[in-house]
Amino acid sequence: MDKRVFDTPSDTARGFAEYLLKQHKQKEKLNIALSGGSTPKLLFNLLATEYQDQFDWSKLHFYWGDERCVPPTSTESNYKMTNDLLLSKVEIPESNIHRVLGENDPEQEADRYAKEIAEQLPSLKGIPRFDIIILGMGEDGHTASIFPHEIELIKDSRVCAVGTNPDSGQKRVTLTGSTINNAASVCFLVTGKGKAEKVDEIFNTKGLYLDYPASHISPTHGDLIWFMDVDSLTNV
Ligand code: 6PG
């Protein structure tokens, strides 16, 4: 497990931006699944400003690792957040943006999105293979929209499934653990003291770590990199 630790959340976002820039230079096309959350917001803002001119945006195809089942105009939408901070500010072809249609019926959309991913991506052992999947981790140890009460979605053999936020009941379309663990590179972006307890349990395989979906992320044929700030490591 590759841990890259930075002083602040902004430095953590920059650390990932540098990683993405390097990966982007090595390939003609990068299929990337994005995440919602606070650290990705810092990343998207950085990419749209300081890094805008360093990328050939036509090489990047953006998907979402999870999306709330809301319209793309909703303040809850991960697509809206990404579009506001990044996509609307860079020269990226519309056809490179593969959003989850959050306005659709969740189960039907999970099926549709899975088909789009399977059609567009190469596969390994019959499972679509992303080049990079960005993940956050909630304070409950959830990742993407795989929550502890639905931890069976980690081993679910489908490409996508419908997850449920346990607090709000909000439905989300999420990649399953089978798809996430088939990626060439999975990058956690985790910052803040609120994550330190779960990070400690996961890194040291102690406490209730097996109850946390994030602890079951381990690419079978790929890299696992944690981009973190020092605050998220205070318990380790
Ligand atoms: C979402 C995200 C979610 C997020 C975690 C961490 O749709 O909300 O995909 O999984 O990554 O909740 O969020 P923070 O980085 O803001 O703590």
Question: Do the strands 171-175 and 160-164 form a parallel or antiparallel pair, or are they unpaired?
Answer: antiparallel
> How far is 96 from 59, CA to CA, in rounded Å?
8
Strand pairing partners for 226? 3, 188
Phi, psi of 63 (to 5 degrees): -120, 180
Q: Is the distance from the beta carbon of residue 34 to the nearest atom of ligand 1 less than 6 Å?
A: no
> How far is 76 from 73, CA to CA, in rounded Å?
8
Q: Is the distance from the beta carbon of residue 66 to the nearest atom of ligand 1 less than 6 Å?
A: yes
Question: What pLDDT is recorded for position 45?
Answer: 98
Atom of ligand 1 nearest to the CA of 135: 11
> How far is 70 from 100, CA to CA, in rounded Å?
10
Atom of ligand 1 nearest to the CA of 40: 15
> How far is 224 from 112, CA to CA, in rounded Å?
28
Q: Is the distance from the beta carbon of residue 178 to the nearest atom of ligand 1 less than 6 Å?
A: no
**Average pLDDT of each block of 10 consecutive residues along the chain (236 residues)?**
96 98 97 96 98 98 98 98 98 98 98 98 98 98 98 98 98 98 98 97 97 98 98 85
Atom of ligand 1 nearest to the CA of 145: 10
pTM passes above 0.95? yes
Atom of ligand 1 nearest to the CA of 65: 9
CB 51 within 8 A of CB 24: no
CB 92 within 8 A of CB 58: yes
Q: Is the distance from the beta carbon of residue 78 to the nearest atom of ligand 1 less than 6 Å?
A: yes
Calculate how far, in angstroms, residue 221's C-alpha sits from the geometric centre of ligand 1: 25
SS3 157: coil
SS3 93: coil
Helix axis angle, 38-48 relative to 9-26, nearest 10°? 60
CB 15 within 8 A of CB 4: yes
Question: What pLDDT is recorded for position 234?
Answer: 83
- The answer for 7, left when phi > 0, alpha when psi is -120 to 50, beta otherwise, is alpha
Question: What pLDDT is recorded for position 235?
Answer: 74
CA distances to 138, 141, 195, 197 from 235, rounded to whole Å, are 16, 15, 9, 6
Calculate how far, in angstroms, residue 115's C-alpha sits from the geometric centre of ligand 1: 25
Calculate how far, in angstroms, residue 16's C-alpha sits from the geometric centre of ligand 1: 16
Question: What pLDDT is recorded for position 236?
Answer: 65
Q: Is the distance from the beta carbon of residue 213 to the nearest atom of ligand 1 less than 6 Å?
A: no
Question: What pLDDT is recorded for position 38?
Answer: 93
Calculate how far, in angstroms, residue 55's C-alpha sits from the geometric centre of ligand 1: 25
Q: Is the distance from the beta carbon of residue 9 to the nearest atom of ligand 1 less than 6 Å?
A: no
